[in-house]
Structure 1
Amino acid sequence: MGKTIVITGAGDGLGRALARRFAADGETVVLLGRTAAKVEAVAAELGASHLALACDIADPASVRAAFAKIAEVHPKIDVLINNASIYEPFTLAEVRDDQVVASLMTNVAGTIFCAREALPLLRGNGHIINVSSEAVAIKMAMLWLYAGGKAGMELMSDIWARELADDGVRVTVVQAGQMMDETKTGTSWPMDVAMRFMQDNAKIGLNPRERPISHYNSVTDAFRAVVDMPADLHIRHVALTADRRAQP
C-alpha cells in the first residue's frame, strides 16, 4: 500500500520536485503552500488522488485549519516533509523587524506548528523529515538568520527524535546544498543585495558562484531512500552536497 506524504512549500522548487517524485512512485501526496494557485497547479498535474491546500506555515491558525482538512481525508499520514522556508540575506545592522519575524516564524516556528499538528496523524510508524541547509556548516556572510534558524531546527529535530520514539515517529534532518532546475534562472534578490552578498562572502574566502549546484530531481533520490528505511533502521541526519564532477 502506498504512503500518504505531506509536503510543505510544494508549489515550486524542491517541494514540487518531491511531490512529482512521490506521486510518480505511487504515493499519495498532500501539497501545502502559501499560494493556493501554485499548489493547485501541481496537484492538477499529478492527478485527482492528490490534495492541494493553501497554508501559511508561519500562521498557527492556518496550519491548524490545513491539518484539520487533511485529517478529514487522511486519518493517518505516513510522512511530513517540512520543506518550506525563507532564504534572504542581510546584515545585522540593516535587518528589518519584518524580516526577522518572517524568517523565524517560517523557518523555525512553521516547522514546529506543522510537526505539532501532524503528530496525531503520524503516531504509530510515522516519519517527520525536516529540510535543512548546508548554510549551517558553511556559515556564509549575510545568511546568519537563515543558517541560525536551520541550526535551531536541526537541534530541535534531534531532541524530537528521542521524545517521539515511544510514539513510533522517526525524525530525520536532510541538510541540502545548492539546488536548481530548468525553471530557476537566478536569484530574486535586489541587485544591490545580491552584489553585496557576493562581495561579503568573497572577503571570507567563499564564492557562491563557484559552488556546484545539484538538480532538484537528483536530491529527491535521497528523500526516497530516507522514506524507505526499514523499521529497524533510523537515519537521524543526512548531509547532501552537489558534486562538481557531475557539473556540465
Structure 2
Amino acid sequence: MANRFEDKVVVITGGSDGIGLASAQRFAEEGARVYITARRQDLLDLAVDQIGHGAIGVQGDVTNLADLTSLYKSVERDHGRVDVVFANAGMHQPVALEAIEEAHFDSTFGLNVKGLLFTVQKALPLMTHGGVVVLNGSIAGSKAYPGQSLYNASKAAVRSLARSWTIDLKERGIRVNVVSPGATETRLMRGYFDAAPGAEEQVVKGVPLGRLAHLEEVANAVLFLTSSESSYVAGHELFVDGGVAAV
C-alpha cells in the first residue's frame, strides 16, 4: 500500500466509530501519525487498539473549547504541527418542526456547527502551507429530508463554512473541502434499520446504485481529499451517496 501520508500528523474528531474510525485506520495504514477524539474513554481505548500503528486517543468533547485546547496542546507537544484535520464529529437528531425545543437546537448546532468550527479554528496555529481540512457534511445539507430540518440546516452550514474558509485560508495554502455521505453502513444506521422494519428497503430504493455506502468507500473519499492527488480541489463538496444528490 502506498504511504501517501508518511509522517503526516492527522487529527480526527469522533474517531472511535463509524466513518471517523474507518478513516483513522486508513490514514494509519498509509503512514500517518493519527490522533482521534471521542467522548467515552472506553470506546476510545478500543478504537486505538483497533487502529494500531501508534495511534493516540485524546478523550474530549468538541463542543467544549477547553477539551479542544488540550487536544492540540498534546499534538503540539508531540509533533509541533498538524497536517490534516478531519472534523468528523457530529450527530443526527431527527425532530419534527412542531416538536423542536431549544435543547434540540443547542445540541445539534452545538456539535455539528460550533464543535466543527472550533475544531478547525484551534488547529490553525499548528497548520502550515499545504495543510488540509475536510469537514464531514451530509447529502442532507442539499436535500430536504422530512422531519429533520435542524439536521439538514446544520449540514448546510457545514457546506457554507467550507466555501468561506477556502477564501479565508487561501493565502496560507490550506485547502478545505467537504465529504458528504449518504446512507452508510454504520453501527448507528444498522440499529435504526433493525428498529424500523422496512426502512432499509425504502432508503435503498432511493439510491441509484441500489445499496448503502460501505465505511471504506467514505474513508477512501476522505483520503483522496486530503492527499496530493486532490491538490487542485478546494471548496468542493464530494458526495459519497450512490448518486442520490446528483440525480
Q: Under TM normalisation by the shorter chain, which class is it?
A: 0.7 to 0.9
* Distance change (3 Å), C-alpha of 1:111 and 1:182: closer
Question: Aligned residue pairs: how many?
Answer: 232
Deviations 1:216-246 (A, max 9, x none): 01211111211223585124221221269xx
Unmatched runs of 5 consecutive residues or more in structure 1: 199-206
Name the counterpart of 1:3: 8
Bigger Cα displacement from structure 2, 44-53 vs 98-107: 44-53
SS at 1:93 equivalent: helix
Give 1:184 deviation, angstroms: 5.5
Which 4+ stretches in 1 moved above 6 angstroms? none
- Which residue pairs with 1:186 in the alignment? 191
- The match for 2:3 is none
Amino acid at match of 1:143: Q
1:142-221 alignment to 2 at 5 Å? 142-181=147-186, 185-187=190-192, 207-208=202-203, 210-211=205-206, 212-221=211-220
- 1:51 maps to 56
Seen in structure 2, the aligned counterparts of structure 1 residues 37 and 17 have a Cα distance that, compared at 3 Å, is same
2:72 alignment counterpart: 67
8 Å CA contact 2:162–2:178 kept in 1: the answer is yes
Give the aligned partner of residue 101 of structure 1. 106
User: Scaled by the length of structure 2, what TM-score is found?
Assistant: 0.85
How far apart are the structure 1 equivalents of 2:121 and 2:152?
22
Name whichever of 91-100 and 141-150 sits farther off.
Answer: 91-100
Alignment check: 8 A CA contact 1:77 1:122 kept: yes
| Offset, 1:70 | 1.8
TM-score (norm. length: structure 1): 0.85
Give the aligned CA root-mean-square deviation in angstroms: 2.4
Encode CA deviations 1:117-141: one digit per residue, 9 max, x unaligned. Answer: 1011112211110010011222101
Counterpart residue number, 2:137: 132
AA aligned opposite 2:162: S
Unaligned runs of 5+ in 2: 1-5
Contact 2:37 2:60 (C-alpha < 8 Å) held by counterparts: yes
> What is the identity, as a one-letter code, of the residue corresponding to 2:14?
G
Structure 2 CA distance, aligned partners of 1:159 and 1:109? 15
- Partner in structure 2 of residue 117 of structure 1: 122
- Percent sequence identity is 24
Show the counterpart of 2:39.
34
